[in-house]
Structure 1
Amino acid sequence: MSVKQILVIDDEADIREIAKMSLQITKRWKVLTAASGEEGVAIATKYHPDAILLDVVMPEMDGLLTLKTLKNNPETKPIPVIMLTATGNVVTQRQYAELGAQAVLTKPFDPGLLGNQIATALNWRADF
Structure 2
Amino acid sequence: MPLQRIMHVEDDESIRAVAEIALTDVAGFELLSCGSGQSAINQVEAFAPQLILLDVMMPQMDGLQTLAALRQLPGVKTIPVVFMTARIQQAEKQHYLDAGAIAVIDKPFDPMQLGDTLHRLYQQQLDNN
Q: TM-score, normalised by structure 1?
A: 0.90
Aligned-residue offset at 1:97: 1.4
Aligned-residue offset at 1:19: 0.5
- Structure 1 distance, partners of 2:108, 2:60, is 22
Q: Which residue of 2 aligns with 1:93?
A: 93
Q: Please show how residues 15-26 of structure 1 align to structure 2 within 5 Å.
A: 15-26=15-26
Q: 1:86 to 1:113 in 2, by over 3 A?
A: same
Q: 1:84 to 1:112 in 2, by over 3 A?
A: same
Aligned-residue offset at 1:72: 2.6
Q: Which residue of 1 aligns with 2:122?
A: 122
User: What are the Cα deviations for residues 51-81 of structure 1, in whole angstroms up to 9, with x where unaligned?
Assistant: 1110000000001100111123222111111
Q: Which residue of 2 aligns with 1:9?
A: 9
- Structure 1 distance, partners of 2:119, 2:3, is 13
C-alpha RMSD of the superposition? 1.7
Q: TM-score, normalised by structure 2?
A: 0.89
Q: Which residue of 1 aligns with 2:78?
A: 78
Higher share of residues assigned helix: 2
Which consecutive segments of 4 or more residues in structure 1 shift more than 6 A? none
Q: Is the 8 A contact 1:3 1:30 kept in 2?
A: no
Q: Which residue of 2 aligns with 1:112?
A: 112
- Structure 1 distance, partners of 2:3, 2:82, is 19
Q: 1:3 to 1:54 in 2, by over 3 A?
A: closer
Q: How many corresponding residue pairs? A: 125
Q: Which structure 2 segments of 5+ residues have no match?
A: none
- Structure 2 distance, partners of 1:53, 1:71, is 14
Q: Which structure 1 segments of 5+ residues have no match?
A: none
- Structure 2 distance, partners of 1:12, 1:70, is 20
- More off after superposition, 80-89 vs 2-11: 2-11
